[in-house]
């Protein structure tokens, strides 16, 4: 199987501004591989290192040691991001632009020819159901509409790898269903999806494999059903057990 995303002994330390305090270790030697065509869930409690991992993969933060690559290209090279789409957790875009202008801007950065970009924009506007609002400035959009614009911009370059950071955060049940449908459709098209989420129910439904990270360390990686079987519990209970949370016995 082709490895699309690889992290090799990835370590990230943040130096503290206080003189006497030691550096904070956000990632402690993370080894991770995501194969082509799979939907990979990246789970962990708050502060586990999920966002830091994504920041390294996207080139926002340089690793202290170790390496990471996308499609075999080091993540520090801008070309590594040519075939990926990224949806951040908090979606903010240029408020003075319309959705159409925003997508056209990103299409230019990807070097998509004008005609092809127009076609992609039309398709994406239909997909995320923003055709009626495509010429309105983004400042007039609701939170849900902004999230959908975010999804559209993540798909503008027809990416082979989609990196989603909490994609259903802040969405109503209908919105979440739409996102799940899009993820499943991408999978059917052979795309790879790498996403982090707290919604374990969703993860169970869509993911092929998951990794659970806690305090910067990878605790477990594998298929969902294998993890459930190993811990004789549903995914939520298995997750809590893996991160070391003791559940209270029922009264």
Using CB under 8 A as the criterion, which residues of the chain lie in contact with other proteins when the complex forms? 55, 58-61, 78-82, 84, 86-88, 90-97, 101, 105-106, 108-111, 137, 150, 153-154, 163
Q: How far is the CB of 96 from other proteins (least distance, A)?
A: 4
Question: Can you say whether the dihedral through the CA atoms of 235, 27, 164, 68 is positive or negative?
Answer: negative
Q: How far is the CB of 117 from other proteins (least distance, A)?
A: 12
Q: How far is the CB of 140 from other proteins (least distance, A)?
A: 13
Q: Tokens standing for 46?
A: 């708050």
Q: How far is the CB of 110 from other proteins (least distance, A)?
A: 7
Whichever of 96 and 246 has its CB closer to other proteins, that residue is 96
Whichever of 77 and 205 has its CB closer to other proteins, that residue is 77
Whichever of 138 and 220 has its CB closer to other proteins, that residue is 138
Whichever of 80 and 213 has its CB closer to other proteins, that residue is 80
Q: How far is the CB of 100 from other proteins (least distance, A)?
A: 12
Interior/surface letters 121-151, b for 16+ CB within 10 angstroms, e for the rest = beebbebbebeebbeeebeebeeebbbbbbb
Dihedral of the CA atoms 224, 230, 236, 242 (nearest 10)?
-110
Q: How far is CA 105 from CA 12, 118, 122, 148, 246, in A?
A: 32, 11, 15, 17, 49
Q: Which residues contact 82 (CB under 8 A, 6 or more apart)?
A: 110, 157
Whichever of 95 and 229 has its CB closer to other proteins, that residue is 95
């Amino acid at each position: 199987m082709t490895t699309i995303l690889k992290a090799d002994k990835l370590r990230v330390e943040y130096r503290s501004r206080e003189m006497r305090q030691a550096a904070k270790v956000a990632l402690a030697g993370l080894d991770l591989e995501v194969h082509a065509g799979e939907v990979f869930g990246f789970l962990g409690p708050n502060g586990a290192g999920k966002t830091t991992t994504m920041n390294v993969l996207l080139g926002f933060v340089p690793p202290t040691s170790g390496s990471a690559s996308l499609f075999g290209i080091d993540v520090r090279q801008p070309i590594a991001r040519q075939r990926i789409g990224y949806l951040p957790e908090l979606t903010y875009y240029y408020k003075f632009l319309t959705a159409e202008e925003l997508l056209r801007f990103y299409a230019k950065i990807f070097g998509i020819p004008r005609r092809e970009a127009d076609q992609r924009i039309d398709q994406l506007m239909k997909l995320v159901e923003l055709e009626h609002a495509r010429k309105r400035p983004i400042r007039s959009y609701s939170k849900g509409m902004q999230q959908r614009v975010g999804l559209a911009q993540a798909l503008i370059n027809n990416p082979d790898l989609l990196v989603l950071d909490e994609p259903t955060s802040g969405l109503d049940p209908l919105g979440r269903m739409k996102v799940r449908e899009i993820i499943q459709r991408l999978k059917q098209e052979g795309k790879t999806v790498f996403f982090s989420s707290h919604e374990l129910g969703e993860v169970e439904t869509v993911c092929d494999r998951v990794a659970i990270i806690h305090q910067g360390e990878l605790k477990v990686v594998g298929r969902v059903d294998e993890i459930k079987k190993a811990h004789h519990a549903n995914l939520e209970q298995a997750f809590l057990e893996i991160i070391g949370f003791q559940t209270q016995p029922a009264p």
